[in-house]
Amino acid sequence: MKDELQTEVSRRRTFAIISHPDAGKTTLTEKLLLFGGAIREAGSVKGRKAKKHAASDWMDLEKQRGISVTSSVLEFTYRGYHVNILDTPGHQDFSEDTYRTLAAADSAVMLIDCAKGVEPQTIKLFEVCAKRGIPVFTFINKMDRHGKDPFDLLEEIESVLGMRSHPMNWPVGIGSEFCGIYNRHRSRLERFDRQKDARQLDVEGPDDPLIREEVGDLLADQLSEEIALLDIAGDPYDFEKIRNGELTPVFFGSAVTNFGVEAFLEDFLGLAPSPSPRESDQGLIQPEQPDFSGFVFKIQANMNPAHRDRVAFLRICSGKFERGMNVRHVRTGKNLKLAQPQQFMARDRSIVEEAYTGDIVGLFDPGQFRVGDTLCEKGSFQFEPLPKFPPEHFAKITNKNAMRYKQYQKGLEQLVEEGAIQKYRTFLSGPEEIIIGAVGELQFEVFDHRMKSEYGVDLIFERLPFRFARWVKGAVENPARLQQGRRTLCVKDDEEQLLVLFDSEFFMEHFIQQNRELTFAKQSD
């Protein structure tokens, strides 16, 4: 059993793909699935009227808008590896979902558009990876289009993100002159031709005459000079630094043309770590420990609209998972039987009989799970809590049709527990009002769309002027004193914790200075 578990853990690769919107993240995911044999034809993520859609974009709104608005779980096997991809939303308005998903990953693939370089959302997501110390692998995309000089892109990664880089391969030309990639570690030229399939040519080095014959004198001379410069002045390959998140291997390619993707997948799977130990309130939980444990990092309602189901996504952190096993739900102290575990290809699912550390399993959820819950076979420890970020946009919502009250309550409750929105309520005067908060503005649109399409509920939105939220720590005998005209609003969250909403950062700082006996926190307990 121990040898079997170690073997299964060693071949697992669980990673997230992160990027700024429109860098080609969903396209790259589709091509990885294509090479892994998980799909037969990559879906289009372009036009709203396209007949095909990306496998990772399963929600109707995603297909209509051509963007990813929720994380997807995708798994396949490739050359002996069992691969779990966590495809995350690129749009900054859904960054909270991405942050939670990163907690379930052992490494990350950072996708960069060669024309735009390191963009704001990439910076935010990279900071989360750096804070967690997970290895980051960089894929610079769209090399068949006009873009920045490759050396400038490396400099940008190092100056903006503060991470050293090591190019695993190097482009031969760029844009209209792009004609291939030279693999530095395999001494191989992957030849790009817009009219033909890619060809791989084994060579003796960057000065091999075969390269000159294939790409011409000008590009061959340029490649030779650039590789020599990288060998002298670039950061050397260091496996330990890569695994420790101190050095990012860089790959160049074009996801939309399939070019460089399979070579990237091969190298990435060899370099990326297998499942790592996880922090808990009782110390590190090792992935090879025989007893099963895991945590819920995502809840998704209505993945199958016909059944109005709800699925909790569980990252396995140790041991072997078996269908029908009994586990302890640590938060409630109850014992549960996991009778209908599922694995996913976005919306498509299949019953899973067993799974191992690093795998993602979907659990049927009648409403008993919350994001961050720990499940374990033995003991009663809890994994580190997942971060909850303060919203920056607020609105008061009202149900248009009182006859749909039950549906309204159910939809609101489920989407809040899923993490699609944050909910608060007023309590100081007048009838109770429901306030919802979002990290990004587009979350309101998705929330409204899902309430209407999945629960048949029409809402009235009244936008509020508040931009900051702080949880109040400490005893407050008279909460009404914290509400000052229209500049602040006192509300409570679902845990009955008090928080104050502010209309400006300046007034918030002034207010905090005037109430030094209290502590104002960005995150709830």
Q: Establish whether 24 is an annotated binding residue.
A: yes
DSSP secondary structure letters along 438-462:
ESSTHHHHHHHHHHHHHH---EEEE
Q: Establish whether 3 is an annotated binding residue.
A: no
Instruction: Cite the DSSP H helix spans in 95-189.
Output: 95-102, 120-132, 150-161
Query: How far, in Å, CA of 363 to CA of 33, rounded?
Result: 23
Query: Shortest CA distance to 487 belongs to which of 519, 513, 460, 509?
Result: 509
Query: How far, in Å, CA of 302 to CA of 310, rounded?
Result: 6
Q: Establish whether 135 is an annotated binding residue.
A: no
DSSP secondary structure letters along 208-261:
-HHHHHHH-HHHHHHHHHHHHHHHHHSPPP-HHHHHTTSEEEEEE-BTTTTBTH
Q: Establish whether 449 is an annotated binding residue.
A: no
Encoding tokens for residue 256?
A: 């939309």
Q: Establish whether 26 is an annotated binding residue.
A: yes
Q: Establish whether 25 is an annotated binding residue.
A: yes
Encoding tokens for residue 522?
A: 């960005």
Q: Establish whether 87 is an annotated binding residue.
A: yes
Q: Establish whether 23 is an annotated binding residue.
A: yes
Query: How far, in Å, CA of 437 to CA of 8, rounded?
Result: 42
Quote the Cα angle for 424-280-71, to 5°.
Answer: 55
Residue pair 18/91 in contact by the 8 Å Cβ criterion: no
Residue pair 76/36 in contact by the 8 Å Cβ criterion: yes
Amino acid 378 reads: K
Q: Is 65 helix (H, G, I), strand (E, B) or coil?
A: helix
Query: How far, in Å, CA of 437 to CA of 452, rounded?
Result: 18
Q: Establish whether 22 is an annotated binding residue.
A: yes
Query: How far, in Å, CA of 274 to CA of 240, rounded?
Result: 14
The secondary structure of 334-350, three-state, reads EEEECCCCEEEECCEEE
Q: Establish whether 235 is an annotated binding residue.
A: no
Q: Establish whether 144 is an annotated binding residue.
A: yes
Phi, psi of 222 (to 5 degrees): -65, -45
Q: Establish whether 20 is an annotated binding residue.
A: yes
The alpha carbon of 158 is separated from its chain's Cα centroid by a whole number of angstroms, namely 22
Q: Establish whether 59 is an annotated binding residue.
A: no
Known binding site: residues? 19-26, 87-91, 141-144
Known binding site for GTP: residues? 19-26, 87-91, 141-144
